[in-house]
Amino acid sequence: MRKKIVAANWKMNMTQGEASAFVGTFLLEIGESRDVEVVLVPPFTAIAAVNAALEHAQHIKVGAQNMHWERSGAFTGEISPAMLRDLFVRYVVLGHSERRTLFGETDEIVNRKVRAAHEAMLRPILCVGESLEQRERGDVEKVLSTQLRGSLAGLSARELQETVIAYEPVWAIGTGKTATAEQAQEAHAFIRQVLGEISEEATADKIRIQYGGSVKPDNARTLMSQPDIDGALVGGASLDPRSFALIVQGAGEK
Ligand code: 13P
């Protein structure tokens, strides 16, 4: 049984004060249930504030939105895996479509980061997904297969199991257009098939695959009740503690 994992990708939002206030309200809303793994992914500058606010809620994990693959050195403006570990970060979102399209990250770069994350005992949340143009051309499977094989190259079965995949169709991000549950399930099942080809079926069965792209309280439950959808990576709706709590609760309902 794969435990559902729901993550809040705050992107370039939230000051330290806003992040602390979010955690305060979120903890009141979310209750004591441990059925769903919850990850908050603030900007680097708010990680320490989130840790402090989560002091008595250690079951909620903290992630980062990006990192460099090298251990240290002359890389102005970059953050290393060890720096994230130093801040008690457990997960790191890698290869988000905004990084790929706005900052030129290729599968090769993403692969370096994924491998560096595992070396540092950080769990990657690897994002993959097609653009609208690619979908309309009928290239969804080709794009997903290329991104998965390129970004996950060289990982052991154990490392693969500890990687979370986020299927985020680019056309659904921040647009209010969600993939239908059927479209999302179809893509997730295909992703699991490719993961099985990369390693083996037993390993692929253990890997959690999140859906991301305009997830809201009113569509979360239907999406996450699909057999291959093991959680959500939430952008806009994760900035409001009440709506994010409702999404987490939606993941816990059968
Ligand atoms: P939205 O939920 O705002 O569509 O963003 C999705 C996303 O990119 C999460 O990483």
Write out pLDDT tens, residues 168-202: 999 999 888 888 999 999 999 999 999 999 999 99
**Is 35:25 a contact under the CB 8 Å cutoff?**
no
- How far, in Å, CA of 10 to CA of 235, rounded? 6
CA-closest residue to ligand 1 atom 5: 235
253 in catalytic set:
no
Q: Is the backbone of residue 97 left (phi > 0), alpha (psi -120 to 50) or beta?
A: alpha
Please give the number of the atom of ligand 1 that sits closest to the Cα of 166.
10
Sorted by where each begins, the domain ranges of the chain are 5-247
The active-site residue out of 68, 96, 118, 188 is: 96
What's the CATH fold of domain 5-247?
TIM Barrel (3.20.20)
Write out pLDDT tens, residues 123-158: 999 999 999 999 999 999 999 999 999 999 999 999
Please give the number of the atom of ligand 1 that sits closest to the Cα of 236.
3
Q: Is 40 exposed, middle or buried (0-12, 13-18, 19+ CB in 10 A)?
A: buried
Whole-structure pTM value: 0.97
How far is ligand 1, taken at its centre, from the CA of residue 228, in Å? 19
- How far, in Å, CA of 5 to CA of 233, rounded? 8
Q: What is the pLDDT along the chain (254 residues), one digit of tens a residue?
A: 899 999 999 999 999 999 999 999 999 999 877 899 999 999 999 999 999 999 989 899 999 999 999 999 999 999 999 999 999 999 999 999 999 999 999 999 999 999 999 999 999 999 999 999 999 999 999 999 999 999 999 999 999 999 999 999 999 998 888 889 999 999 999 999 999 999 999 999 999 999 999 999 999 999 999 999 999 999 999 999 999 999 999 998 76
